[in-house]
Structure 1
Amino acid sequence: MTATNGVSKAPGCIPAPNPGQTFWQQDGNIEFSDYRSTETLPEQTDILIIGAGYAGTSTAYHLLAEGTKNSITILEARGVCSGATGRNGGHLRPDLYGHIPTYIERAGLEAAVEIAEFEIAHVPAMKKFIREQGIDCDFNLCRSIDVWCNEQSAQNAKTVYGQMVAHGLSYMEDVVFYTGKEAEGISGVKGAKACASYTAASMSPYKFIIHLTKLILASEQVNLQTHTPAVSILPDPSGGYTVDTSRGKIHADTIIHANNAYVSGLLPEYEKNIIPCKGIACHIAVPDGTKAPLLNNSYINRTEDNTLSYLIGRNDGGIVVGGAAAKFKPFKYQWYNNVDDSILIDAAKDYYNDYMQRTYHGWDNSGAAVRQIWSGVMGYSYDSHPHIGSVPNKPGQYINAGFNGHGMPVIWLSAKGLAKMIAHGAPFEKCGIPRLFQTSQLRIDRAQNGTEGKGDILGTASFGATKQ
């Protein structure tokens, strides 16, 4: 990756051209996969958004909701929602305690609780928006069940739970913790040693983004250009920036980098801050004509060897489950700094065969099998926090990226806050985003120098997990 003569350019960090298809797109009616509002690329736009996934479309929506009169152009290297958002597990699950103890140690209780409460707020906020807009995206309010099948991990989890309760946090009133045989009975997971339960949700991320895309395209201010990767950004002597794409140049006064794992392609200073990392997810179903056992919760399951999976049950009886990072983590070349989501991770591609039979009571004779499996590329940040806000030393450029495989309960309100900054010039502190999410030169330097605050890429805390 290079940055010479003021040019930001790194053509190697762009999405692979032919991603594998996911369950969310199974009906074959992949809307906006090849869509352009105008036949030719606009020569100029007030605001340019790079990326048409959850972060990009949400930011565009909130900019319009904030009343901006500026023109908005969205560039997408492939089709709408073809990246991590359209390839995740559909798990809208806040992290109430997983990484929060680590954040308390790093930055204090108040800053850590900001993150937990921010994520919790996403569930009612998105429920309300989806209801008001009449969005058909399979939204389901549920209990999320954390499960530990390793005795030592279960004991550690109980200790951390006790520590979190001792802080007197009101949101912990929603958490119920079980141990022993009660845990197996409550969770339905074979060999469960402990489990915890709290409010979460599940949904089809793809359906949500497609509907959101229709909403923003109803405005004449928005121009969407798919299959148009941005390859370089150059400051314009007269103001703003000239962005070179695969289909020509466009001038923009403001640029929003919402391309998550690929952000260092145009912001090379983030090369060590946000690393592209692959993961896997799959769809499991029972044979046609048979009925699946009831599974109306969502889950984070940890096996006896501490392999973690995140899982949602769907209204049609199907299952979407992913994770298994412990199985492929040693094979770094297969997933780390790898942007090819057309290829499965070989070390874990067979892990979910017979998963439901191995894991849940009542599924032994269900015939459940993997119907579709896919990979996705997530953006993991060095210190486990997203980077949101004004890009240091680049006036008019903003970032909304680095979600650590945990964007579902973070992006919607982050985009709302970022829109306030851009539309009204509001300071970061007045935009409702956790302070630890603010991008800064200090955070950039820490990653580049390999100093304090390092996150555990594809790792998990002792109590909870930050997976979608």
Structure 2
Amino acid sequence: MKTVSESLERLGLSVPPTKPASEVPKCLPVSNPAKCFWQSEKHKLHDHRSTEELPPHSDVVIIGAGYAGVSTAYHLVKEASDSIKSITILEARGACSGATGRNGGHMRPDLYGHIPTYVERGGVQAGAEIAEFEIAHVKAIKRIVEAEKIDCDFTLSRTIDVWCNEESAKKAKAVYDQMLENNFEYMDDVIFYTGKEVEGICGVKGAKACASYTAGSMWPYKFILGLIEVILATGKVNLQTHTPVTSVTSDPNGGVILQTARGKTHASKVVYANNAYISGLLPEYDQNIVPCKGICCRITVPEGSTAPLLNNTYINRTEDNTLSYLVARSDGSIIVGGAAAKFRNHKDQWYNNVDDSILIDSAKDYYNDYMQRTYRGWENSGAKVDNIWTGVMGYSYDSNPHVGEVPGKPNQFVLAGFNGHGMPVIWLSGKAVAKMVSENIPIEQTNVPRLFKTTQERIDRARSGSEEEGDILGTGNAKATKP
């Protein structure tokens, strides 16, 4: 795998020289991300620093101020024992400027799509654990948004999975039937449709099958910054933005020393919540979690026009099996992204690439006229792309997140590798990591699915395997053993 520096040089860019070249980690965010609709109005805490200088010591330092880092901090503040008195969050750029602040805002549990793979790898119960864990996020996020009064456009709706390819539709129905045979209780919320009425039910042209179940959507940037307001008000949390961490080393006297572009700080415990960029600080994850770019955009209709009503969120699969996710917003605008099938063969544009200042060239025009091509009633809407951007996600070798204590490194914890599916995974994973950090308990005493546990075996399997054997490139061949 090429280093980030090599990738950026190929694109005519460079990593900001905050440290001598020999000391700069290979995986840092670029300093000039492209504009993104969600962040069009920067929050007052976007560039916040709680203190002029870094605190000399914290009980816990969290690397990353996105969904994973802020979720962990929130649960440490709200639920941890008195043993955790000080928490520092270090963020390389502005708060929530990475993947969380650039995603589609779609909180959609996966109730059947990948569950058969998890069942095969870990058994029926392991598959059910993941599905039920994701489902629990929808209600958990609704509760926290209401409890903390966070204005983030959170909405509950039905999500509609659509298949326009006949063969894929038949396979999807077979998976649905398999999930019913497993007697998963959560499948009571799923309705699967086939037949001539499908197109009329989902509104997607050429649909051969569709399925419906409960999901949510939100303005992700506003959600995270709302949480940051809450935790900073407690006085326990020190936020330091524009402070990239360049190395983490064990202190012989206990704890760890974190070197940043602005000096050093010490922590009793550290949480790596920097997702796609984790291998720059933990090189053992360099094949396990790979930075991969995706594409997302906002579509609007001309001023003075009224957009045709869509009440659901969507996962659409075209006849050539190009997948897109879609969220319809109350203002009539559409957030849509995906289209990985259009750029998958152009690896240099997305794979092991952290430059979110440049669009994925092979897919940047895909969503022009997307609504007119895809949905009934949108043919004369005049809908067009208003803003398009890219974001850097962390894709894991075996398609499961890495959660828990870093093998062989006591008091160092990881929460990363969400495969572009972090919205219904991270909140309760952060809660579990906070519990592990504050109560010194193993991950088995939390409700994190067993297949999410980071282990030396998973690390070694990825490092000894090839790219083609992993799930990142879409081959679905990741070798895995039962836990």
TM-score normalised by length of structure 2: 0.92
**Counterpart residue number, 1:45:** 58
The structural deviation recorded for 1:173 is 1.0
1:29 corresponds to 2:79: no
- Whether the 8 Å CA contact 2:89–2:239 is kept in 1: the answer is yes
Aligned-residue offset at 1:454: 5.2
Bigger shift: 214-223 or 337-346?
A: 214-223
Change (3 A) 1:452 1:303: closer
Q: Quick one: which of 197, 208, 220 aligns to 1:205?
A: 220
Match of 1:283 in 2: 298
Equivalent of residue 342 in structure 2, options 327, 334, 345: 327
Determine the C-alpha separation between the residues in 1 that align with 2:149 and 2:206: 41
Deviation of residue 233 (structure 1)?
1.2
* CA displacement at 1:429 relative to structure 2: 1.1
> Which one of 389, 414, 439 corresponds to residue 454 of structure 2?
439
Matches within 5 A, 1:382-461: 382-450=397-465, 455-457=470-472, 459=474
**In the alignment, what sits opposite 1:54?**
67
Q: Could you report, residue by residue, the CA deviation over 1:123-175 in whole angstroms, capped at 9, with x for unpaired residues?
A: 11111111122111101100000000011111111111111111111111111
The separation in 2 between residues aligned to 1:371 and 1:342, in whole angstroms, is: 17
Residue 459 (structure 1) shift: 3.6
Q: Distance in 1 between matches of 2:107 and 2:226?
A: 17
Alignment match, 1:122: 137
Q: CA deviation at 1:43?
A: 1.5
The question of whether the paired residues in 1 share the 8 Å contact of 2:402 and 2:452 is answered with yes
Separation (CA, whole Å) in 1 of partners of 2:85 and 2:431:
16
In the alignment, the residues of structure 2 paired with residue 415 and residue 150 of structure 1 have an alpha-carbon distance, to the nearest angstrom, of: 38
Quote the residue 1:132 is aligned against: 147
**Which stretch of structure 1 is more off in the superposition, 422-431 or 356-365?**
422-431
C-alpha contact (below 8 Å) 1:106/1:453 kept by paired residues: no
1:188 lines up with 2:183 in the alignment: no
Q: 2:178 aligns with which of 163, 177, 182?
A: 163
Report the count of equivalent residues.
455
**In 2, Cα distance between equivalents of 1:30 and 1:38:** 18
Task: State TM-score, norm by structure 1.
Answer: 0.95
SS of equivalent to 1:154: helix
Offset, 1:70: 2.3
1:14 aligns with 2:28: yes
What residue is the counterpart of 1:348 in the other structure?
363
Structure 1 moving runs of 4+ over 4 Å = 451-455
Question: Distance in 2 between the 1:17 and 1:315 partners?
Answer: 32
Give the aligned partner of residue 258 of structure 1: 273
Given that 2:469 and 2:475 are in contact with CA atoms closer than 8 Å, whether structure 1 keeps it comes out as: no
Deviation at 1:313, TM superposition (A): 0.3
- Verify: 1:312 aligned to 2:324, yes or no: no
Q: Distance in 1 between matches of 2:321 and 2:474?
A: 11
List runs of 5+ in structure 2 lacking aligned partners: 5-21, 477-483
Partner of 1:86: 101
Find the aligned partners of 1:34 and 1:11 in 2 and give their Cα distance: 22
- Percent identical across equivalent pairs? 67
Q: Say what the alpha-carbon RMSD is for the aligned residues.
A: 1.7
Q: Which amino acid aligns with 1:277?
A: C
Q: Quick one: structure 1 residues 201 and 256, their matched pair in 2 at CA, closer, same or farther if it must change by over 3 Å?
A: same
Which residue among 147, 159, 179 is the counterpart of 1:144? 159
Shift of 1:338: 0.1
- Supply the distance in 2 between the matched residues of 1:441 and 1:149 (Cα, whole angstroms): 41
Query: Letter of the aligned partner of 2:309 in structure 1?
Result: L
